């Protein structure tokens, strides 16, 4: 399950931040997850609990911020909203370059 390794990397970032900013506990973790990041939110929450249970983020709340998929059309130059990764331009049927929706990023931490 790749959500598990994503959470392990996330915890490394959190622990690094804790060393730099000297905090002892993490209460809430805000995570940006793009529509096309290939992450299953239930699996992510499940993995998060397992990975953080022996860390300073034990019991922390995981807030997932859903980032919609957006793209730019090569043919008509429009910015379009995409439902799936392979969608063609809804305006002209042209080829779309994905500009957002692949994020997996730590946005913010609530700490004490
Ligand atoms: Zn187009």
**CA 101 to ligand 1 center in whole angstroms:** 18
**How does pLDDT run across 1-16, given as a tens digit for each residue?**
699 999 999 999 999 9
pLDDT at 85 over 90: no
What's the mean pLDDT in 43-52? Answer: 96
Query: What is the structure's pLDDT at 1?
Result: 65
Q: What is the 3-state secondary structure (H, E, C) of the chain?
A: CHHHHHHHHHHHHHHHHHHHHCCCCEEEEEEEEECCCCCCHHHHHHHHHHHHCCCCCCCCEEEEEEECEEEEECCCCCEEEECCCCCCCCCCCCCEEEEECCCEEEEEEEEC
pLDDT at 92 over 70: yes
**CA 96 to ligand 1 center in whole angstroms:** 7
pLDDT at 65 over 70: yes
**CA 40 to ligand 1 center in whole angstroms:** 30
**How does pLDDT run across 14-39, given as a tens digit for each residue?**
999 999 999 999 999 999 999 999 99
**CA 81 to ligand 1 center in whole angstroms:** 11
d(C-alpha 37, C-alpha 33), whole Å: 6
Domain 2-111 - what CATH class?
alpha beta
**CA 67 to ligand 1 center in whole angstroms:** 22
What is the pTM (predicted TM-score) of this model? 0.85
Query: What is the structure's pLDDT at 90?
Result: 87
- Which residues is 71 bridged to in the sheet? 80, 98
**CA 24 to ligand 1 center in whole angstroms:** 50
Write down the mean pLDDT value for the chain. 94
């Amino acid at each position: 399950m790749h959500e598990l390794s994503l959470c392990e990397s996330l915890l490394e970032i959190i622990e690094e931040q804790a060393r730099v900013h000297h905090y002892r506990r993490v209460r809430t973790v805000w995570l940006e997850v793009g529509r096309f990041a290939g992450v299953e939110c239930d699996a992510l929450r499940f993995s998060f609990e397992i990975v953080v249970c022996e860390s300073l983020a034990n019991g922390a709340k995981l807030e997932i911020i859903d980032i919609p998929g957006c793209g730019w059309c090569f043919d008509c130059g429009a910015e379009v909203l995409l439902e799936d990764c392979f969608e063609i331009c809804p305006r002209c049927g042209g080829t779309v370059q994905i500009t957002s929706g692949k994020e997996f990023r730590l946005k913010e931490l609530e700490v004490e």
